[in-house]
Structure 1
Amino acid sequence: LKQLNLDATLHLIQDEEDIDGKYIKSLEHGMRLNNRALFEKELPLMLEKLKDKKSPMKENSISYPCKNKVFKFKDEGDKFKLEIT
């Protein structure tokens, strides 16, 4: 990500003391983390970092499949819209 000139931060969760019980519930794979909670917490920060950057994307949306859902981010005017299907 840094090679693409993107600001990236890794939050490494290693110990039980890092489990808050609300956001992170387990040290097992997936941390029993709710996808919606992840996006509600991290998406505003990501969008703020990208606010003034130009994107080489030719499409006005990008999709991320996750298990049985698809998270689609659409650029609509001056806002981003998240569709979960």
Structure 2
Amino acid sequence: KIDGKFIKNLDHGCGIPDKALFRKELPLMLEKLQGRKSFMQENSISYPCGNKVFTFKDVGDKFELEIKD
């Protein structure tokens, strides 16, 4: 639902400012990740969630997400 405050439009990213997204979601994400092990690799970070592992890789000037079962 477009509320004009958080979600501005239905384009990619919904017009949500990064700062607002982090302010809203980061505390919950950090709480969920507390006590979990993260598997660090060079230029990447992985987070297990359920039966999947989400790996964020720093590739050049962008980030890539890899999801493994």
TM-score by length of 2: 0.54
SS at match of 2:9: coil
Distance 1:32 1:48, change over 3 A: same
- Residue 22 (structure 2) pairs with residue 34 (structure 1): no
Greater relative CO, 1 or 2 (CA 8 Å, sep 6+): 2
In structure 2, C-alpha distance between the alignment counterparts of 1:38 and 1:53, rounded to whole Å: 23
Distance 1:28 1:58, change over 3 A: closer
The one-letter amino acid paired with 1:34 is P
- Length, aligned pairs only: 49
Q: Give the ranges of 4+ consecutive aligned residues of structure 1 lying more than 3 Å apart after TM superposition.
A: 61-65
Q: Which runs of 5+ in 2 are unaligned?
A: 46-55, 59-69
RMSD over aligned CA atoms reads 2.8
Q: Per-residue displacement from partner, 1:12-53 (whole Å, max 9, x unpaired)?
A: xxxxxx111110010122211101101111111110000011
Task: Provide the identity percentage.
Answer: 60
SS at match of 2:39: coil
TM-score by length of 1: 0.45
Q: Which has the higher strand share?
A: 2
Equivalent residues in 2 for 1:59-70, closer than 5 Å? none
Match in the other structure for 1:52: 35
